[in-house]
Amino acid sequence: MSCLKLSASFHPKVWGSPKLSPWFLDAAEKIGEVWFEPPSDVPLLIKFLFTTENLSVQVHPEDEYAREHHNGSNGKTEMWYILRTDPGAKIALGLRQGLTADQLRAASLSGEIMDLLNWVEVQPGDMYFAPAGTVHAIGAGIALCEIQQISDVTYRLYDYGRDRELHLDRGVAVSNLVAHEHADLSKCPYFRTSVVEVSGTTTLHSPQAPAILICVAGEGLLDGQPYGPGEAWRLDETSALVEASADSRFLLTYVPTR
C-alpha cells in the first residue's frame, strides 16, 4: 500500500472553536488543535488550528538554541495555510520596524507590542511562512493548517493579561529584531510545501518520497482508498492515483534531501 492515513488527536483550548466542519465533525467543546501522528521517516508535525480568540504573541527558537537550552530539542520553523476566516481576521508576522532587545522587552511588558507587530488581514488560500525567530501571533476567527518542525518549544512575549507564564528573557534572546521581510519557503531546509489542485482522475507526482499529503478540500479515492477533507496521508512513492469525485485541494509536503 503506497498511502497510509495518519491518525489524528484532538486538543481542547480556551481559544478554540466547536465549529470544525468540513474538516472534522463539530465538537461539544472548544477544540483548538488537531494533531496528526508524524511518520517516523517524515519528521514533520501537521496540525489544524481553530481560533475564536487571539493566540499569544510568541516566538520559537532556532535549532542551535533549542538544543542547547531544551535537552536537544529541535527549533520550530512553521508555515500556515489559511482555510477559513471571519471578516477582518488577521495574523501578525514579524515586526513593523526594527527594535532593540530592550525595546522589545519593554513593549511586551506594556502591551505596546500589539502596535509594533506586522498585522496582515488573511483570506482562505493564503500561505505564510514563519521561520524560527519570527515574532508572531494568530488572531481570532481563523481555521488553518500548520506544517512545522516537530517541537513544542514556544516562548510567550505577550498574552493579553491571561494567567499564563511569559518567557521574556529567552523570547527576546531568540527574536529577529529587524523589520519583517518576506522569507522564501522554497529555500526552507526543514520542509517544502506546494498546493495541488485535482479535478477528475489524475496521477499526483511528488518531488520526493516519503511525503505527506494533506486534504484540505474535496473527496474521492487516493490509490483506491476513500479520502476527504481533514485527512493527512503518508506517501511512500513519488506518485499516487487520485480519483476526485469532488474537486480537491491538497497540501503536499516533504523534508528536502540535504
Which residues carry out catalysis? Answer: 156
Cα(127)–Cα(143) distance, rounded to whole angstroms?
12
Note if the bond before 210 is cis, omega within 30 degrees. Answer: yes
* Cβ partners under 8 Å of residue 90, min gap 6: 119, 120, 121, 122, 139
- Return the number of other C-beta atoms located less than 10 Å from residue 181's C-beta: 8
The residue written with cell numbers 500561505 in the block is 127
3-state class of 12 per DSSP?
strand
Q: Please name every residue paired with 235 in a beta bridge, in sequence order, or none if there are none.
A: 3, 211
Q: What is the distance between the alpha carbons of residues 208 and 205, in angstroms, rounded to a whole number?
A: 9
The dihedrals phi and psi of 186, each to the nearest 5 degrees, come to -70, -15
Cα–Cα distance, 189 to 119 (Å, whole number): 26
**How far is residue 251's CA from residue 195's CA, in Å, rounded to a whole number?**
5
Position 143: which residue type? A
